[in-house]
Structure 1
Amino acid sequence: MKKNICLLLLALLPALSPATVRAWHPRNAGLSDVTSGLPPVIGKQRSYLPAPGETLMEIAWRAGIGFSNLRRANPGVAPWHPPLGREIILPLAVPVPPGIEEGLTVDLAAMRVWLLWWEGNRRRIRWYPIGIGREGFATPTGRFAVTTVIERPTWFPPPALRAEEGLPAAVPPGPDNPLGDYWIGTTAPGIGLHGTNRPFGVGRRVSHGCLRLYPRDIRDLARHVRPGMPLRILGREFN
């Protein structure tokens, strides 16, 4: 009897633990292969039973989902105190944007960045949740390109931000650096993709215009990005 119960619990673990879907999506190499054509949807919806005291923000971080997307998928669920005993939806079935192109495509409305690239003779796709520019510091839209990929960057706060928050002229790599482990520079003036030392800001409008990724996601993205790679930042519609 005990053995049967253990086997049942093991079978349920993939549906109940966000650790199984943490990091970029899709995790499965087969699902990321779009050589024969782009599907309308990538991934599958999952369910999760919150633990006592667990917030939607913590679940979003562990599951690799943007906070705003998790809230929209679970209307009526209190973000700081999800009801005990009630499963929530992990929105991991994501529509592929129409007209997506090779390189990086940022969907500001959905707060995601898509990567479409060739790996040998295989065409692959991947998406990552992002934090975007807050009110007054909107992330610009348009066609740009990657210029640099820097590991362990030094942050040079702009003068206005230094005056506002009393920051030093330069913040070295480390836990106090808001750029995290990588900076991916672009031809959009002052705008890049980077990690963060505040992961709960991913999936929210919190930045001064840059695109903020979970630490594990920026490490993965930096492996595939190269200078010259096209970057499109799009707002409400893909065109």
Structure 2
Amino acid sequence: MTRNKALKLLPLLTLTLTLAWVCEALAWQPRNREESIITARLPAPLVGEPRPYIIGLEEDLINLAWRSGVGYGALVRANPDVDPWLPAPGTSVVLPLSAVLPAGAKPGVTINLAELRLYLIWQEGEDTLVRYYPIGIGREGRETPLGEFHVANRAKNPSWTPPPSVRAERPYLPGTVPPGPDNPLGDFWIGLNDRRIGIHGTNQPFGVGRQVSSGCIRMYPDHISDLFYRVQTGTHVDIIYQPIKLGQRDGTLYLEVHPDERATLGDPLAEVLRQKALVADGSRLDLDLVRFALAEKSGLPVPVSAR
């Protein structure tokens, strides 16, 4: 199966773009997503929809990622045939705005390092809602740690005191950086009980969707301002690593595959089959589609149900 044939299976990608729709796509600037979910269902639910976008004059993917509210790495992986720096005007790209909820995600914050995405889940009456945001995480040698945490403190317009590891690299930094455009924490700080890390904004939004921080979780300025007022001290935070996620919507199974940067999976196909074994609804996998998704590692949820 070719990539083009597989992409035809994705929702919205076979639409004929009229001039009016093209104008709408060029002006559309999505933010974080919000949907009602059922967290107890197996496999996990699929939320959101991918969206097509037509590249305009003098556009590139790094600026498009910021404007459209997706991570840079996710946008590049979803469009491997597009030059991220010099895409041809008129090129159609996919905005990766859909996701399979991580297995075991529960109310609170779940951060999946494998996909560089943060999920916020909460209850409103009988409804369970989710919002999800792209993030930047720690680079090699300064990896963001895994584990269970909680929100320990919150601050608006925080000051930044460079830790010893950063000061060793940049001894010219002042003792404390006050709030403002030079502060790498941005306008909001959500500290975890592990004092080494926190969730914060950034004055370098092009780092969202990449592994470039010293261990903290970076978010776009408008996203952190939204999250800041939705969490409180004590909110549960899970930091996990799930490069393969099997989800479902309307009876169709979807597989979302990300690069296994930490090399935790010995046999990716066995991991898919393990997750499928938890599903007792009689659905079946098309193993050709599964193998194709595992090879592509596009980060896009693709349908893998057997017909």
**What is the TM-score when the length of structure 1 is the normalising length?**
0.88
Query: Structure 2 counterpart of 1:74, which letter?
Result: N
Residue 17 of structure 1 corresponds to which residue in structure 2?
27
Residue 148 of structure 2 aligns to a residue whose secondary structure is strand
Structure 2 contact 188–200 (Cα < 8 Å) conserved: yes
Query: Structure 2 counterpart of 1:15, which letter?
Result: A
Distance 2:206 2:152 in 1: 27
**How do 1:1-239 and structure 2 match up within 5 A?**
9-19=19-29, 21=30, 23-26=31-34, 32-34=35-37, 40-165=45-170, 166-236=172-242
Residue identity (%): 45
How many residues end up aligned between the 2 structures?
A: 225
Shift of 1:95: 1.2
Distance 1:52 1:108 in 2: 33
Q: Deviations over 1:106-165 (max 9, x none)?
A: 000000010001234532101000000001100000111111111110101112312321
Distance 1:35 1:95 in 2: 12
Residue 33 of structure 1 aligns to a residue whose secondary structure is strand
Distance 1:236 1:78 in 2: 28
Distance 1:227 1:55 in 2: 39
Distance 1:11 1:235 in 2: 37
Shift of 1:83: 1.6
Structure 1: which 5+ residue stretches go unaligned? Answer: 1-7, 27-31
Query: Structure 2 counterpart of 1:216, which letter?
Result: D
Distance 1:120 1:168 in 2: 48
Structure 1 contact 16–48 (Cα < 8 Å) conserved: yes
Distance 1:92 1:33, change over 3 A: same
Residue 4 of structure 1 corresponds to which residue in structure 2?
none
Moved more, 103-112 or 36-45: 36-45
Structure 1 contact 60–67 (Cα < 8 Å) conserved: yes
Shift of 1:104: 0.4
